[in-house]
Amino acid sequence: MIPDYGTTLTDMAKRLGAISRGINTIADHPAMQLTPDCLGARIEAVAESSRRSDHDRIKQAQTDMDHATRDLRSLTAKARTAGEQRQQLFQVAGGCVLAGIFLWSFLPGTIARTMPESWHWPERIATRMVGAPSIWDAGARMMQAGDPQAWNALLHAADIQRDNREAIEACKKSATTSQQPVRCTVRIRAENKAER
């Protein structure tokens, strides 16, 4: 009896059809269509693109180097003028200091004189200027420096007033009562020149 190979052949035909479709799919793939010439052209294109990229990078590095060189030249030019700028800065600072001294010489006094009289700003400024503890002490120091003889006479009069306080008060009462000038007797100490 002869065996029936129909089912085996059908199965084989199906498998061969699947293999044929797989081979066609592989054959249709772009990589399979590359020929040595085509592959060489593609390698050449990729190499050209890579060289172009490297060339662009080299060109950019050269441009950056040129900019850095220009910046360095600019910095050295600026460094040369830094001394001149420093000298100008000192001149301007000196001018500002002189202007400040000039303004300070009259501005506080001008401002102090515009304030109300009861604030005594000019007197307070004078007190600070002479280094006195109070306005009274500053006034005494300025009077003594302004006219030493008048200052001594004032001190002498103050001594007479202090030494004869009771007698002077009695004379004032008598003058007030009589509404007339009155004579008073006062005692005066001998002036000691060493005290002055």
- Over the stretch 97-126, which tens digit does the pLDDT of each residue have? 999 888 888 787 788 788 888 888 888 888
* 51 inside domain: no
* 174 inside domain: yes
Six token digits for residue 31: 């990589």
The pLDDT tens digits of the residues spanning 18-76 come to 888 888 888 777 777 677 777 778 788 888 888 888 888 888 889 989 898 888 888 77
Q: Is the pLDDT of residue 152 over 60?
A: yes
CA 21: distance to chain centroid?
82
Range of the domain at 160: 148-191
d(CA 27, CA 22): 8
Contact 159, 187 (CB under 8 A): no
pLDDT of residue 175: 92
Q: Is the pLDDT of residue 91 over 60?
A: yes
Six token digits for residue 167: 């007698």
Average pLDDT for the chain: 84
Q: Is the pLDDT of residue 4 over 90?
A: no
Six token digits for residue 83: 């001394």
pLDDT of residue 96: 92
Contact 157, 168 (CB under 8 A): no
d(CA 145, CA 151): 8
Listed residue (192, 193, 174) closest to 183, CA to CA: 174
* 70 inside domain: no
Q: The whole model's pTM is what?
A: 0.40
* 3 inside domain: no
Count of the separate structural domains present in the chain: 1
Six token digits for residue 64: 């950056």
Query: Each residue of 105-144: b (16+ CB within 10 Å) or e?
Result: eeeeeeebeeeeeeeebeeeebbeeeebeeeeebebbeee
Percent of the chain at pLDDT > 70 equals 93
* 45 inside domain: no
* 171 inside domain: yes
* 164 inside domain: yes
pLDDT of residue 80: 66
Amino acid letter, 48: E
Band the pLDDT of 95: cuts 50, 70, 90.
very high
pLDDT of residue 193: 62
123-148 average pLDDT score: 90
* 52 inside domain: no
pLDDT of residue 97: 92
Rg (CA), the chain: 58
Q: Is the pLDDT of residue 16 over 60?
A: yes
Band the pLDDT of 6: cuts 50, 70, 90.
confident
